[in-house]
Amino acid sequence: MLSGSCLCNGIQYEIDGDLGQAMICHCGKCRKSNGSAFAVNAAIKVDEFRLLKGQALVGEFESTPGVFRTFCKNCGSPLYSRRPSMPDIYRLRIGTLDTDVQVKPVAHIFMGSKASWDGAHDDIPQYDERP
């Protein structure tokens, strides 16, 4: 069981399952929504995700047609993105996990749109978009 929460702790969730492969996304939208160089995201199964607290605080923004980014309306923490076209998965922002998971991201994606000041200094594969 994995658990996580937003910055203000108003939203708490559990995941009764494992994370999919974690990827480090450098796209301009992840950059803006996180206020940082990149986001580290991993797919989870919707039916394994359980919101324990804070349903009323969950906001959504459609950042691209068909892509909804979910966040806490109180503190702004990004939680996951979802696509109605892929109803079985969420892409969790794994920085919101409280469980100390052992994750090794498998790739840097959207390196073609990374900020010029963003350096990826490791040896995992890099892709200009989503492979």
Q: Write the CA distances from 38 to 7, 88, 124, 129, integer angstroms.
A: 18, 24, 15, 13
Q: Which of 2, 6, 15, 19 binds Zn ion (CB under 5 A)?
A: 6
By beta-carbon proximity to Zn ion, the closer residue of 17 and 28 is 28
Q: By CB neighbour count within 10 A (0-12 exposed, 13-18 middle, 19+ buried), where does 107 fall?
A: middle
How far is 112 from 105, CA to CA, in rounded Å?
Answer: 18
Q: Is 19 in the site for Zn ion (CB under 5 A)?
A: no
Total number of residues binding Zn ion (CB under 5 A)?
9
- Give the x/- contact pattern for Zn ion in 72-111, rule: CB under 5 A: x-xx------------------------------------
Selected range binding Zn ion among 14-22, 29-37, 89-97, 120-128, rule: CB under 5 A = 29-37
Say which residue the tokens 């790739």 belong to: 107
Nearest-angstrom CA–CA distance, 80 and 56: 16
Residues that bind Zn ion (CB under 5 A): 6, 8, 10, 25, 27, 30, 72, 74-75
